[in-house]
């Protein structure tokens, strides 16, 4: 065993549940994708990013005023979060109900991960360093339009009669 491998044996891997979820063949492919996308993300950043995204999608689904504006601002922010865009586009087009369900699922995993990280910090237990999945702190490439007047496609309508 190498020295660097031995150094990590006494540290807890905060991403273990995400790795398990990503490899679990019983999970939908979308869940496996978003679990993989969250591996290595900062504990609080990942949770709050997914929560904010889930809230925006839920607001649109529930017809809340400002839901489309919130989603457009998340996806179009030039100083924003490529992680949120990654999660959104892993789920886009799969149906809004399934999208919300998958976001809630990931949010629950990330919340539990945060609680474990907090408890480890209080007990002074070391966590394995997270390996940053992104190489830049700013978005890389084109971002979505800022317009909140976007047309919702068929995947936003659960009732086939509402799909035009």
CB atoms within 10 A of CB 161: 6
Return d(Cα 56, Cα 64) in angstroms, integer: 9
Q: What is the pLDDT of residue 5?
A: 44
Q: Is the pTM of this model over 0.85?
A: no
Q: Give the pLDDT confidence score for residue 63 in this predicted structure.
A: 92
Contact 46, 111 (CB under 8 A): no
In tens digits, the chain (164 residues) has pLDDT values of 454 544 444 578 999 999 999 999 999 999 999 999 999 999 999 999 999 999 999 999 999 999 999 999 999 887 777 899 999 999 998 899 999 999 999 999 999 999 999 998 898 888 888 887 776 666 666 667 767 677 666 666 666 555 45
**Separation of alpha carbons 60 and 71, rounded Å:** 8
pLDDT of residue 142: 63
Give the pLDDT confidence score for residue 124 in this predicted structure: 86
Residue 138 CA to residue 25 CA, distance in Å, equals 33
pLDDT of residue 106: 98
CA atoms in the 13 A half-sphere facing the CB of 99? 23
Task: Please state, in angstroms and rounded to a whole number, the distance separating the CA atoms of residues 109 and 5.
Answer: 26
């Amino acid at each position: 065993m190498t020295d660097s491998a031995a150094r990590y044996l006494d540290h807890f891997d905060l991403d273990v549940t995400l790795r398990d979820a990503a490899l679990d063949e019983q999970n939908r492919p979308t869940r496996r994708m978003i679990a993989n996308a969250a591996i290595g993300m900062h504990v609080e950043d990942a949770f709050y990013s997914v929560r904010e995204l889930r809230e925006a999608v839920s607001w649109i689904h529930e017809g809340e005023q400002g839901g489309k504006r919130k989603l457009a601002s998340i996806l179009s922010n030039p100083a924003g979060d490529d992680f949120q865009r990654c999660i959104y586009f892993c789920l886009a087009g799969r149906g809004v109900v399934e999208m919300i369900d998958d976001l809630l699922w990931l949010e629950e995993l990330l919340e539990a991960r945060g609680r474990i990280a907090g408890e480890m910090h209080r007990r002074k237990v070391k966590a394995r360093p997270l390996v940053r999945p992104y190489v830049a702190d700013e978005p890389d490439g084109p971002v979505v339009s800022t317009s909140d007047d976007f047309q919702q496609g068929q995947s936003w309508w659960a009732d086939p009669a509402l799909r035009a």
